């Protein structure tokens, strides 16, 4: 069987930063992820309890725009309720109403001096308005918090830059810790401030040092360095920089757009031109890392702060849309995807993501119509066809998925290792429509492009096992897949099943027991284990596993087979080894 998971790593210090802030906001932020569109109309506050409960309900739907208005209505009955004001502030922040969020945050921060979120919102609001003296005073009195303490030098540096004190700003950054978690942040913002102040040598040195860290720079820092090089007339060096990173990220729209700009002789300015934009970069950087670690609610807070500081940051809009989609906030997700301007380098990918989000929110016809428009606009781009194939496959319309994937493959004239997945996905569609020869050909092509890919090894080997052929080759492939992903219950099940089909029942039981422990709740895995128990004479345990499989509500064809086994036992023919 097939299954996969992936998880990215975060430097420990940044993980601590994100989750410390998350601990401050999670219980309230859970009631604050919401939407700016499709919300309820004007709120008529008739009672404190009614307004407050309506706000809580709107938050849980989620609909933060409505929640913020209901909380405002409740505040009319209890204006001194600081916690209620804080919830309204968070609802306004989550819905993107930054003016109201900052206004409420100022009051909450004044009344609750140890509230880190309100203080941070108020601080970003002041920096955005260019109120650097007020921001400096607020920063000096901010409560201690792991997240705030880490970013405090960055905020202070940008405030000083706004006060035209570049030397002091750079000195503050130099006081930051030099460990591998913090050093990239320090170097990045030193480079940005130096570039903004025209200190070319220091900016170049800082960008180069950032690329030498364990992080090695990231796409946005490469874009910032390239923009700096272009701004000082070093277009050839910028081109080399973009091309070097594109070798690792060949489909990156931001870097490809930068190269296209150079090809057309178009100039560009610095990536960051104001202190507020610099603060937005800091918030966006932390949010990106948090999102990679699935710390969704803290990441949403940071992204809203990033957009509060820098509203036109398309990359933050795209990531925030994705997070709202993952939390089920339809209107916010679709609205954010739709707001990304055509001029943004990531516009095309945002439209693809918009279409997939429409499908995610059960609007497949609208999704496919959007993809059809994109296909017409860029008929030589494979991404819209791939997305359409994914939608059809996800809805088990496999016959329709095949031509969509085939169009994408036809546009890939020289397949590379990165193209294995489209052959794999088309193979699934072929297999589900009982076109095995075509499916096998695509699976072999996928393995030719990516010989060690566990998902492809598993799918092809399990298919052979079910057919009772090529069992020794299938075993070798599954041993390799299981070594790559030893905790994948589906791959372990496949390995156990190939032992079963070879008549090696004792070895099969060991692997199938592991598979059920790794992936409980899948009826096929329990059925396989029951079959193996029956084969070695453990009949009572076999029937117990089959009953568990039935209780897990398997498909009708599987259910019928299990019911027959419970009545008659495992047929003797099922114990005959297949072809080696």
- Tokens 């509500």, residue located: 553
Tell me how far apart the alpha carbons of residues 292 and 290 are, in angstroms, rounded to a whole number: 5
State whether residue 187 is helix, strand or coil. Answer: helix
Tell me how far apart the alpha carbons of residues 474 and 488 are, in angstroms, rounded to a whole number: 17
Alpha-carbon radius of gyration of the chain: 28
Going by C-alpha positions, the residue among 91, 88, 87 that lies closest to residue 63 is 91
**Predicted pLDDT of residue 44:** 55
- Residues 180, 213 contacting (CB under 8 angstroms): yes
**Predicted pLDDT of residue 45:** 56
CATH assignment of 485-580, given 3.40.190.10, 1.25.40.10, 3.40.1180.10, 1.10.490.10? 1.25.40.10
Say which residues have a Cβ less than 8 Å from residue 208's Cβ, sequence separation at least 6.
Answer: none
Say which residues have a Cβ less than 8 Å from residue 142's Cβ, sequence separation at least 6.
Answer: 116, 119, 120, 123, 148, 152
Half-sphere exposure of 453 (CA within 13 A, CB side): 22
Going by C-alpha positions, the residue among 421, 424, 417, 413 that lies closest to residue 248 is 417
Tell me how far apart the alpha carbons of residues 82 and 293 are, in angstroms, rounded to a whole number: 32
- Residues 239, 262 contacting (CB under 8 angstroms): yes
Tell me how far apart the alpha carbons of residues 284 and 289 are, in angstroms, rounded to a whole number: 9
Give this prediction's pTM: 0.85
Query: Tens-digit pLDDT profile for the chain (580 aa)?
Result: 654 333 233 343 343 333 334 333 333 332 333 333 344 444 455 787 888 788 788 777 777 777 778 877 787 887 888 888 888 888 899 889 999 999 999 999 988 888 888 999 999 999 999 999 999 999 998 887 766 788 899 999 999 999 999 999 999 999 887 667 789 999 999 999 999 999 999 999 999 999 998 778 889 999 999 999 999 999 999 999 999 999 988 889 999 999 999 999 887 899 999 999 999 999 999 899 899 999 998 899 999 999 999 999 999 999 999 999 998 889 899 999 999 999 999 999 999 999 999 999 999 999 999 999 999 999 999 999 999 999 999 999 999 999 999 999 999 888 999 899 999 999 999 999 999 999 999 999 999 999 999 999 999 999 999 999 999 999 999 999 999 999 999 999 999 999 999 999 999 999 999 999 999 999 999 999 999 999 999 999 999 999 999 999 999 989 999 999 999 999 999 999 988 8
- Tokens 């499916």, residue located: 439
Tell me how far apart the alpha carbons of residues 117 and 131 are, in angstroms, rounded to a whole number: 19
Where do runs of H (alpha helix) occur along 415-470? 420-432, 436-449, 454-467
Tell me how far apart the alpha carbons of residues 530 and 223 are, in angstroms, rounded to a whole number: 56
**Predicted pLDDT of residue 3:** 45
**Predicted pLDDT of residue 499:** 98
The length of the chain, given as a count of residues: 580
The domain locations on the chain are: 485-580
**Predicted pLDDT of residue 179:** 67
């Amino acid at each position: 069987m097939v299954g996969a998971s992936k998880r990215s790593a975060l430097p420990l210090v940044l993980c601590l930063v994100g989750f410390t802030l998350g601990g401050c906001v999670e219980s309230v932020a859970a009631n604050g992820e919401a939407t700016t569109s499709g919300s309820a109309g004007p709120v008529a506050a008739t009672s404190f309890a009614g307004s407050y409960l309506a706000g809580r309900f709107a938050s849980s739907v989620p609909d933060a725009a409505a929640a913020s208005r209901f909380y405002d209505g409740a505040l009319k009955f209890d204006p001194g309720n600081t916690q209620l004001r804080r919830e309204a502030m968070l609802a306004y922040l989550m819905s993107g109403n930054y003016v109201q969020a900052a206004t409420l945050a100022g009051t909450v921060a004044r009344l609750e001096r140890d509230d880190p979120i309100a203080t941070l919102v108020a601080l970003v609001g002041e920096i955005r308005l260019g109120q650097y003296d007020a921001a400096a005073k607020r920063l000096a009195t901010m409560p201690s918090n792991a997240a705030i303490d880490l970013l405090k030098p960055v905020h202070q540096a940008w405030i000083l830059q706004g006060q035209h004190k570049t030397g002091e700003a750079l000195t503050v950054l130099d006081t930051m810790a030099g460990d591998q978690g913090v050093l990239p942040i320090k170097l990045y913002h030193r480079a940005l401030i130096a570039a903004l102040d025209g200190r070319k040598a220091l900016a170049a040195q800082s960008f180069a040092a950032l690329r030498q860290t364990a992080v090695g720079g990231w796409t946005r820092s490469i874009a910032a360095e390239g923009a700096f090089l272009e701004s000082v007339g070093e277009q050839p060096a910028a081109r080399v920089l973009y091309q070097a990173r594109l070798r690792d990220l060949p489909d990156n729209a931001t870097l490809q757009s930068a190269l296209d700009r150079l090809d057309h002789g178009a100039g560009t300015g610095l990536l960051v031109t104001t202190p507020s934009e610099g603060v937005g970069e800091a918030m966006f950087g932390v949010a990106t890392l948090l999102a990679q670690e699935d710390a969704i609610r803290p990441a949403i807070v940071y992204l809203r702060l990033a957009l509060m500081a820098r509203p036109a940051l398309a990359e933050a809009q795209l990531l925030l849309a994705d997070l709202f989609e993952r939390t089920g906030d339809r209107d916010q997700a679709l609205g954010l995807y739709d707001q990304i301007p055509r001029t943004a380098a990531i516009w095309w990918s945002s439209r693809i993501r918009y279409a997939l989000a429409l499908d995610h929110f059960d609007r497949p016809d609208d999704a496919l119509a959007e993809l059809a428009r994109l296909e017409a606009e860029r008929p030589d781009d494979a991404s819209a066809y791939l997305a359409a194939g994914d939608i059809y496959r996800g809805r088990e319309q496999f016959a329709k998925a095949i031509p969509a994937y085939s169009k994408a493959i036809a546009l890939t004239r020289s397949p590379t290792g990165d193209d294995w997945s489209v052959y794999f996905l088309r193979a699934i569609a072929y297999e589900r429509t009982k076109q095995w020869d075509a499916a096998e050909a695509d699976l072999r092509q996928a393995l030719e492009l990516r010989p060690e890919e566990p998902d492809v090894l598993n799918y092809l080997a399990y298919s052979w096992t079910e057919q009772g052929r090529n069992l020794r080759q299938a075993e070798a492939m599954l041993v390799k897949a299981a070594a790559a992903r030893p905790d994948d219950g589906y791959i372990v099940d496949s390995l156990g099943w190939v032992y079963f089909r070879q008549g090696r029942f004792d070895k099969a039981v060991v692997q199938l027991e592991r598979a059920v422990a790794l992936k409980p709740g899948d009826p096929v895995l329990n059925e396989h284990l029951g079959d193996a128990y029956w084969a070695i004479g453990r009949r009572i345990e076999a029937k117990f596993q089959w009953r568990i499989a039935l209780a897990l509500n398997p498909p009708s064809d599987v259910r019928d087979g299990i019911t027959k086994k419970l009545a008659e036992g495992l047929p003797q023919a099922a114990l005959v080894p297949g072809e080696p």
